[in-house]
Structure 1
Amino acid sequence: MLVDKAIVSTNRIPTMDHKPLLVVRDKPGSTPMVAVDAVGCKPGDWVLCVGSSAARDATGTKAYPSDLTIVGIVDYWETE
């Protein structure tokens, strides 16, 4: 997935702490999704994401209300 930009949410439930929220897309022009940033990426990065219960686990607590979490940044991607 490609990171588009950060978003700001001033009101959050207490279990969300202050983890960054980012807009990501499968590919340019596709539907945007919001993901929790667990690794510290920036706009323009290609990232690995997990969903469902793995997304909650990746944030560090099963109580975190996430369905999409960034778990890695792609450092190198060889194209054909």
Structure 2
Amino acid sequence: MNIMRVVRDLVTTHRVSGLHARQLRVLEDAKGNIEVAVDAVGARAGDFVITIAYSSARIATGDPRVTTDLTIGGIIDDWNEDKFTGRIPAAS
């Protein structure tokens, strides 16, 4: 599992049938890498989330027939930018 931030929704007009009608989100990791994930929990832009990868990602959607290798499995309630990037906050 990894912690990532939801950047935005991803809307597709055509997709393989294995994705069904699942919501897709664009995610960014702490290094700025971008990935697309199936959203199984209803995350919104700006949310920090826990992702589930590889074959477990299919199971996390609730339907192992969904063709994905990255699924959002949870929304993090208490997380901030400094924890995400590893930056030390400035002294106040």
**TM class by smaller structure:** 0.7 to 0.9
1:41 to 17, 40, 43: 43
Shift of 1:22: 0.5
Shift of 1:19: 1.1
RMSD value over aligned CA atoms? 1.7
Cα shift readout 1:4-46 (whole Å, capped 9, x = no counterpart): 001111112223221111110112x612000000000100000
2:20 to 2, 17, 20: 17
Structure 2 letter corresponding to 1:34 = V
Tell me how many residue pairs correspond in the alignment: 79
- Structure ID, larger Rg: 2
1:74 to 72, 76, 83: 76
SS at match of 1:47: strand
* Structure 1 segments unaligned to the other structure (5+ residues): none
Q: Larger deviation: 7-16 or 43-52?
A: 7-16
SS at match of 1:71: strand
* Structure 2 segments unaligned to the other structure (5+ residues): none
Structure 1 stretches of 4+ moved >4 Å: none
Say if 2:38 and 2:70, in contact at 8 Å, map to a contact too.
Answer: yes
Say if 2:48 and 2:79, in contact at 8 Å, map to a contact too.
Answer: no
TM-score by length of 2: 0.77
| Residue number in structure 1 paired with 2:60 | 58
